């Protein structure tokens, strides 16, 4: 399957998170993105070095600038379970705007065409690192990395596109 591209409508899909009582909840991506400007970015794995030290912190640090430029939602997804995503989100105590959602079975990553097989490294099915600018469910910018690289999907590149 070809990866999601500029002009495409994002597929709907169900992602999960923990509510305040630590119960697993699900949410449809279309309900988060309909009639909104959204940044959807993905990382290969929670708690991994590049993801934890660079990719996510840059979006958290740039959140106010994204908001000033009209972005309604900043959403980070990873092929991890909602418990891991919740624990990871808690490590960013200054985060006020980035939502952490789990794509536990990689179904949404597959629907986007951004699956990444890291089985040889013991990580199994994952998502490529990417950042999408979405306006009312349509992809306006699609910065999708090759393999596990980190060159075009950072916050700075998406901010320049706004």
Cβ-based burial of 102 (10 A; exposed 0-12, middle 13-18, buried ≥19) = buried
| 15 CB burial (10 A radius; 0-12, 13-18, 19+) | buried
DSSP state of 69: T
Q: How far apart are CA 42 and CA 33, in angstroms?
A: 15
Q: Are 33 and 17 in contact (CB under 8 A)?
A: no
Task: Give me the catalytic one of 18, 40, 43, 51.
Answer: 51
Cβ pair 67, 44 in contact under 8 A:
no
DSSP 8-state class, residue 157: H
Q: Is 51 a residue of the active site?
A: yes
Which residues are tagged catalytic? 51
């Amino acid at each position: 399957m070809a990866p999601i591209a500029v002009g495409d409508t994002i597929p709907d899909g169900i992602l999960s998170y923990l509510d305040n009582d630590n119960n697993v909840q699900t949410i449809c991506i279309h309900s988060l993105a309909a009639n909104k400007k959204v940044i959807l970015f993905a990382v290969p794995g929670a708690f991994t070095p590049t993801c934890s030290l660079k990719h996510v912190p840059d979006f958290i640090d740039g959140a106010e600038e994204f908001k000033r430029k009209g972005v309604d939602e900043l959403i980070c997804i990873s092929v991890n379970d909602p418990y891991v995503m919740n624990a990871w989100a808690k490590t960013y105590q200054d985060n006020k705007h980035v939502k952490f959602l789990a794509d536990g079975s990689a179904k949404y990553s597959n629907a986007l065409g951004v699956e990444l097989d890291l089985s040889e490294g013991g990580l199994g099915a994952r998502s490529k690192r990417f950042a999408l600018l979405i306006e009312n469910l349509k992809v306006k910018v699609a910065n999708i990395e090759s393999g596990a690289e980190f060159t075009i999907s950072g916050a700075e590149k998406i901010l320049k596109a706004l």
